[in-house]
Amino acid sequence: MLWYKGWLETRFRLLFVFSFYVVSLLAMSLVKPPQSSPFARLNPQEQLKAFLGFGFAIYPVAMASLMLAAAGITTQSSFQQTKGLAGSTLFTLSLPVSRLRLLAIRALLGWLQTAAFIGASCLLMWLALPQVRSAVKPEEMAVYAFTLVFCSSGIYAIPMLLATFLDDLGRMLGSVPVFAALWWILRHTPLPASMDLFRAMGESSPLVARAMPWMAMAFSISLAAVLFFLALKIVQRREY
């Protein structure tokens, strides 16, 4: 029943994210990148793939994570409802369910929703844009989606963690600098490039590099696990 409750709480978000994505998809399909950028030096095939990597992987993944990572067991309303937040949390916490279970179900549900969103958006992208269909085979797209799901886990876990002690707005605003920090750390510190999950979604993705970024996927999952553990500790120690 906790899954059902979580679903009731977040279904509108999922709808919102998807609608937003569809609109962005339309917008992006009309925009042309500037001629002077390194992007323009690639051949059309490569251009497309890089475009896919950045424009369609990192951006929607980040957005989906922000929206769907409504874990933390206190945030439970969609945008309209702000009343009843604190009170019903007391009810939830007075039930004979461990906080671990409450957090895990919410976090997992959000992750599954993000994964579903990624899968659906890849499919939609493939169906809607003929340039994509001609350049990418269906199984390549599936592999790409698979990679994205794993690589995005680390990103998803950041707002999930923040949700344990910040409200909706705080979580969304706070996640952005953390994403940026992660991106910077992975790119500019001596950490191996193979671990860079952002790259794995972009230029090192299976679509471009023709190889599975296993290291990045593993790193992302590990990061997600660590952040989940931290979130659990926060939720267990917190007072309501």
In the complex with another protein, the residue whose CB is nearer, 31 or 95, is 95
Rounded distance between C-alpha atoms, residue 36 and residue 208, angstroms: 21
Shortest distance in whole angstroms from residue 2 CB to another protein? 8
Q: Taking contact as CB under 8 A, which single stretch among the options 15-23, 42-50, 74-82, 134-142 is the one that binds another protein?
A: 74-82
Nearest to 107 by CA among 96, 115, 119: 115
In the complex with another protein, the residue whose CB is nearer, 14 or 200, is 14
Q: Binding residue for another protein (CB under 8 A) from 34, 38, 96, 177?
A: 96
Q: Binding residue for another protein (CB under 8 A) from 27, 31, 90, 169?
A: 90
Rounded distance between C-alpha atoms, residue 42 and residue 235, angstroms: 48
Angle of helix 59-68 relative to helix 2-30, nearest 10 degrees, comes to 150
- Signed CA dihedral, 203, 186, 233, 158: sign only: negative
User: In the 8-state DSSP scheme, what is residue 75?
Assistant: -
User: In the 8-state DSSP scheme, what is residue 192?
Assistant: -
Q: Binding residue for another protein (CB under 8 A) from 27, 31, 86, 169?
A: 86
In the complex with another protein, the residue whose CB is nearer, 6 or 202, is 6
Q: Does residue 140 bind another protein (CB under 8 A)?
A: no
Q: Binding residue for another protein (CB under 8 A) from 91, 139, 169, 188?
A: 91
Rounded distance between C-alpha atoms, residue 199 and residue 215, angstroms: 11
Q: Taking contact as CB under 8 A, which single stretch among the options 82-90, 137-145, 156-164, 197-205 is the one that binds another protein?
A: 82-90
Q: Does residue 133 bind another protein (CB under 8 A)?
A: no
Q: Does residue 95 bind another protein (CB under 8 A)?
A: yes
In the complex with another protein, the residue whose CB is nearer, 83 or 188, is 83
Measured torsion, CA atoms of residues 160, 163, 169, 173, in degrees rounded to the nearest 10 = -50
Rounded distance between C-alpha atoms, residue 59 and residue 53, angstroms: 9
Shortest distance in whole angstroms from residue 71 CB to another protein? 16
Rounded distance between C-alpha atoms, residue 117 and residue 111, angstroms: 10
Binding site for another protein (CB under 8 A): 1, 4-5, 8-9, 76-78, 81, 83-84, 86-88, 90-91, 93-98, 236, 239-240
